[in-house]
């Protein structure tokens, strides 16, 4: 497949970049590439009991995935 634009990362910046590109006058073919899992599959192993600190997962379920860390925010507190 050929794309005019490839956006790497579906965090807030990547999402809004792709959105703004769709609003341009050009008919661009856009791909968004994201390393993280789908939101419903994003589970952090830290449970506060047996695992109390980061275990350095190869792909962090909090930071990676559509929306980045902001996907878990209600907007009252920003995780950056």
Residues 6+ apart with CB under 8 A from 21: 5, 7, 28, 30
Do the beta carbons of residue 67 and residue 15 sit within 8 Å?
yes
Coil/strand/helix, residue 6: strand
- If pLDDT is split at 50, 70 and 90, which confidence band does 67 have? confident
**More confident position, 77 or 71:** 71
Residue 59 tokens, joined = 């792909």
Please report the pLDDT score of residue 78 as a whole number: 61
Tell if the pTM clears 0.85, that is, is over it. Answer: no
Which pLDDT tens digit goes with each residue over 18-61?
999 999 888 899 999 999 988 888 888 887 789 989 999 999 88
């Amino acid at each position: 497949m050929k794309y005019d634009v490839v956006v790497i990362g579906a965090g807030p910046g990547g999402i809004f970049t792709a959105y703004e590109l769709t609003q341009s006058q050009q008919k661009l073919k856009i791909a968004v590439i994201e390393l993280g899992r789908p939101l419903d599959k994003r589970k952090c192993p830290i449970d506060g009991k047996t695992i109390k600190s980061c275990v350095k997962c190869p792909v962090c379920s909090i930071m990676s995935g559509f929306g980045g860390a902001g996907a878990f925010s209600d907007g009252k507190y920003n995780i950056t």
